[in-house]
Copies of this chain bind each other. A is one copy, B any other.
Amino acid sequence: MTDQCRPGRKRSEQSRLAILTATLELVEEAGYGALTIEGIAARSGVGKQTIYRWWPSKADVLLDAIATTADIRAPEPDEGSFGADLALFLEHTYEMSTESRVADTLRALMAQAQIDPGFRKRFCEDFLFRRRDALGKVVERARERGELPAGVTPDTVTDLVFGTLWYRLLATREPIGQELAAELVALLTRQGASNAEIR
């Protein structure tokens, strides 16, 4: 399967973990701005080439580090009603972003994606759009059930939810608590619709 049919030494899992750990430590200590490949190599006791061999940029190392450590995969709840699904999705997001380590990292990665086009592509495909698709399916189910407000497309609903989350993360830095979740659910659920169906 993942057969290593080539000759030569195998990739060292120990080095890989040391690199990812060192990366997270350094970001936590001094912020993404102070993160350097040189520093990661020094901290993890690894040659620089070993990092360049396996990751295209320091942002990719960080993305890998946070993906390996924290659970940043998007859930696809299916509770029967859009309100419940959305609430669950927001709750997971909330829990993820309360860990300041995760929140700081997400900020840095989104920032780097704006500056480095190469990383932008990978970040979107590996993380951003994956989460978007997850929520997209939830919203699509809601549309089929007629739970969405009138005059709003599913895509716009998704943009709205993620937009609010990211704006809070990047601009105001206020946590996304239960009140906001409740407000979003209230706003994005057609009045009476879901209630009617539940009954």
A interface, CB within 8 angstroms of B:
31-33, 107-108, 110-117, 124, 128, 132, 149-153, 156, 159-160, 162-168, 170-172, 180, 182-184, 186-188
Contact = CB atoms under 8 A, between A and B. Distances in A.
Contacts of A153: 183
A160 B160 contact: yes
B151 A186 contact: yes
- Chain A binding site: helix, strand, loop or mixed by DSSP? helix
Given A111-B115, A156-B183, A163-B165, 4 more contacts: A32-B114, A151-B182, A160-B187, A167-B167
19 contacts: A31-B117, A33-B115, A107-B114, A128-B171, A150-B186, A151-B187, A152-B187, A156-B164, A156-B183, A159-B164, A159-B167, A159-B180, A160-B164, A163-B166, A163-B167, A163-B168, A166-B171, A170-B170, A187-B188
B164 A32 contact: no
Q: How many copies does the complex hold?
A: 4
Nearest 8 A/B pairs, CB to CB: A163-B167, A163-B163, A151-B186, A111-B114, A111-B111, A163-B164, A107-B114, A33-B115
Contacts of A167: 159, 162-163, 166-167
Contact of A183 (B112, B132, B152, B168): B152
Contacts of A112: 111
A116 B149 CA distance: 40
Contacts of A184: 156
Nearest to A166: B167
A172 B151 contact: no
Contacts of A156: 164, 180, 183-184
A170 B182 CA distance: 26
A110 B31 contact: no
A155 to B, nearest CB: 9
